[in-house]
C-alpha cells in the first residue's frame, strides 16, 4: 500500500503541475494582447504628431508660395505706377499697392507663427520618437520572452501529461477510481498528509487509533472521516 500511495502522490503532483501550467498558458494570450495594445498606443501618438507636423509643413509651403506670388504682383504694380497718366489712376494704384502690402504683412506674420509652431511640433515628434524607440526594444524583448515561456510551458505540459499517464499505468484500477472520485468531489487534492493527528486537507483531527494505524499499517487504505480524502502519514520530524 505504501508504494501505491507513493504513486498516487506522484500522480497528484504531476496533475497539479499540469493544472498550473494550463492556467498559466491561458493567461499568456491576454498578456500579449495587452502588451501590443500598450505599444500600439505609443505608435498612434507618434503617428498623430507626425501627421500634425506634415500638415504644418504643407501650410508653410502654401504661405511661402502665396507670399512670393503677392510680392511679384506688388513689384509689377510699382513698375506700372511709373507709366500712370492721370492723378486719379495714380491714387487708385497707390491704394492697390497699400492693400497688397497689408496682405503680405499678414502673410508674413502667419509664417512666423507657423515657424514657431513647427519648431514646437518638431521637438514633440523627436521626443515621442525617442520614447517609441526605447519602448520598442522593451516591447520586442517582452514579446520574445512570452513566446519563449509559451514554448517551455508546452514542453513542460507534455512532460507532466506523459508522467501522469505512466503513473496511471502503475496504479491499480480500483485505487485510481477512488482517487478520481475524491478528486472530482474535492475539486483538487485527493491525497493528503496527516501529521499529529490532523488531516492536511480539512485541518480536522482524525481518531488516534487511525493515526496509529497510519504510522504502522501498510495494508489498508485510510481516508479522512471528515473530508474523505486518502490519507498518508508524513513524518515531519525529518
Residues making contact with Zn ion (CB under 5 A) = 199, 201-202, 224, 226-227
Distance in angstroms (rounded) separating the CA atoms of residues 51 and 4: 71
Q: Which of 235, 234, 226, 233 is nearest to 182 (CA)?
A: 226
The least CB distance from residue 226 to Zn ion, in Å, is: 5
Tell the residue number behind the cell numbers 505540459, with chain if given.
Answer: 157
The least CB distance from residue 188 to Zn ion, in Å, is: 13
> Which residues in 155-181 are b (16+ Cβ under 10 Å) and which e?
ebbeebeebbeebbeebeeebbebbee
The least CB distance from residue 203 to Zn ion, in Å, is: 7
The least CB distance from residue 174 to Zn ion, in Å, is: 21
DSSP 191: E
Helix axis angle, 2-81 relative to 173-186, nearest 10°? 50
The least CB distance from residue 31 to Zn ion, in Å, is: 37
Distance in angstroms (rounded) separating the CA atoms of residues 65 and 73: 12
Q: Which of 176, 171, 189, 172 is nearest to 227 (CA)?
A: 189
CB 2 within 8 A of CB 216: no
The least CB distance from residue 27 to Zn ion, in Å, is: 31
Tally the residues of the chain.
238
Q: Which is nearer to Zn ion, 97 or 198 (CB)?
A: 198
Distance in angstroms (rounded) separating the CA atoms of residues 201 and 228: 9
Sequence-ordered list of residues with C-beta below 8 angstroms from that of 36, at least 6 positions apart, any chain: 143
Q: Which is nearer to Zn ion, 25 or 186 (CB)?
A: 186
Q: Which is nearer to Zn ion, 67 or 227 (CB)?
A: 227
Q: Which is nearer to Zn ion, 117 or 197 (CB)?
A: 197
Q: Which is nearer to Zn ion, 121 or 201 (CB)?
A: 201
Q: Which is nearer to Zn ion, 212 or 226 (CB)?
A: 226
Amino acid at each position: 500500500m505504501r508504494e501505491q500511495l507513493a504513486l498516487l502522490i506522484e500522480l497528484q503532483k504531476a496533475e497539479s503541475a499540469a493544472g498550473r501550467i494550463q492556467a498559466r498558458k491561458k493567461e499568456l494570450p491576454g498578456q500579449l494582447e495587452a502588451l501590443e495594445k500598450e505599444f500600439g498606443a505609443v505608435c498612434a501618438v507618434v503617428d498623430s504628431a507626425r501627421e500634425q507636423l506634415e500638415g504644418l509643413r504643407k501650410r508653410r509651403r502654401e504661405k511661402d508660395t502665396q507670399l512670393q506670388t503677392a510680392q511679384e504682383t506688388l513689384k509689377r504694380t510699382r513698375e506700372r505706377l511709373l507709366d500712370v497718366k492721370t492723378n486719379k489712376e495714380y491714387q487708385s494704384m497707390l491704394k492697390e499697392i497699400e492693400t497688397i502690402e497689408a496682405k503680405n504683412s499678414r502673410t508674413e506674420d502667419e509664417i512666423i507663427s507657423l515657424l514657431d509652431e513647427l519648431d514646437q511640433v518638431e521637438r514633440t515628434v523627436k521626443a515621442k520618437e525617442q520614447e517609441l524607440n526605447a519602448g520598442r526594444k522593451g516591447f520586442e524583448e517582452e514579446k520574445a520572452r512570452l513566446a519563449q515561456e509559451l514554448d517551455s510551458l508546452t514542453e513542460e505540459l507534455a512532460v507532466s501529461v506523459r508522467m501522469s499517464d505512466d503513473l496511471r499505468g502503475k496504479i491499480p484500477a480500483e485505487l485510481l477510481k477512488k482517487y478520481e472520485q475524491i478528486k472530482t468531489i474535492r475539486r483538487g487534492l485527493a491525497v493528503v498528509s496527516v501529521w499529529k493527528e490532523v488531516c492536511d486537507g480539512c485541518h480536522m483531527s482524525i481518531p488516534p487509533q487511525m493515526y496509529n494505524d497510519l504510522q504502522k499499517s501498510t495494508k489498508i487504505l485510510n481516508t479522512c472521516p471528515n473530508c474523505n480524502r486518502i490519507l498518508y502519514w508524513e513524518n515531519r520530524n525529518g
